[in-house]
Amino acid sequence: MNVTVKTPDEQAKMRVAGRLTADVLDMIGEYVKPGVTTDELDAICHEYIVNEQKAIPAPLNYRGFPKSICTSVNHVVCHGIPGPKRLGNGDVVNIDITVIKDGFHGDSSRMFPVGKVAPASQRLAAIAHEAMWLGIRQVRPGARLGDIGHAIQTYAEAQHTSIVREYCGHGIGRQFHEDPQVLHYGRPGTGVELVQGMTFTIEPMVNAGKRHVRLKPDGWTVVTKDGRLSAQWEHTILVTADGHEVLTLGAAERS
């Protein structure tokens, strides 16, 4: 394992990349409505990242991924590929944005309701959101990765939902995916000890039904095996001297 610790200068660059990532998510919200295609959302984000931000959409051509963002609708767990299908009233879509600026990555995703969505869909998105924040609140020097996973798993399972095991958070920096792996389940007091200057994502995938997933033949799209809903939120986190800094907060949360 090769966990990188970012210097203050590198941390400043991560802060910029994180803010740009959040800005894309803030920007795209108003376009998420019934009738829009995920291809259109991809095109809007691509154009904004490249032409306004003068940045790079990291997913494009990453290990062969064909688009600039991931759009995961309803029972799609993660890595949904934008396409010509129109979003419909009552759908819920996760939009996952990764931006490279000045050599450093920011990575964040949010759930967006499409039109009026069912209470059960809203509830699952809210549980995934709270699970992510419970994980984030564990982050400080001396804590261990298992503390994060345990906080997330305990909460999600108490709500009678399940945590996907096959995909996890990750170190991030000059590379999109670096060590360590940040599992969203685990035992307290186990795993890598957190050190000031580490940067990683926390991005729990929470299923309404069972935790098991299946990869579609396109090689990217991950879906729930039982066809039930899945929800995910993601932030990029910096370990600070006395806790953490969330690098991908939206404008409304920054103030």
Rounded least distance, CB 97 to Co ion, Å: 7
d(CA 137, CA 150): 12
Closest distance of CB 69 from Co ion, Å: 9
As given in the structure block, the two tokens for residue 202 are 């926390």
Alpha-carbon distance of 69 to 60, in angstroms, equals: 7
The amino acid sitting at 183 is: L
Least separation in angstroms between residue 222's CB and ligand MF3 is: 10
In the complex, what is the shortest distance from the CB of residue 160 to Co ion, in angstroms, rounded to a whole number? 26
Choosing from 10, 23, 91, 96, the residue that interacts with Co ion (CB under 5 A) is 96
Angle formed by the axes of helices 8-28 and 38-47, to 10°? 140
Q: Which does 133 bind (CB under 5 to 8 A by kind): Co ion, ligand MF3, none?
A: none
Tell me the two tokens of residue 86: 């129109």
Q: Residue 153: how many CB atoms within 10 A of its CB? A: 22
- In one-letter notation, the amino acid at residue 65 is F
Give the alpha-carbon dihedral of 215, 216, 218, 220, to 10 degrees.
-40
Q: Decide if residue 232 touches Co ion (CB under 5 A).
A: no
Confirm or reject binding of residue 178 to Co ion (CB under 5 A).
no
CB of 99 to ligand MF3, least distance (A): 10
Nearer to ligand MF3, 141 or 165 (CB): 165
Please tell me the distance from the alpha carbon of residue 133 to that of residue 104, in angstroms, as a whole number.
24
Residues that bind ligand MF3 (CB under 6 A): 59, 62-63, 65, 70, 79, 96, 98, 107, 201, 203, 220, 234
Please identify the residue of the shown chain whose CB is closest to the bound ligand MF3: 59
Q: Which does 62 bind (CB under 5 to 8 A by kind): Co ion, ligand MF3, none?
A: ligand MF3
Residues 188 and 143 sit within 8 Å (Cβ to Cβ): no
Cβ distance to Co ion smaller for residue 86 or 177: 177
Q: Can you give the binding site for Co ion, defined by CB under 5 A?
A: 96, 107, 201, 234
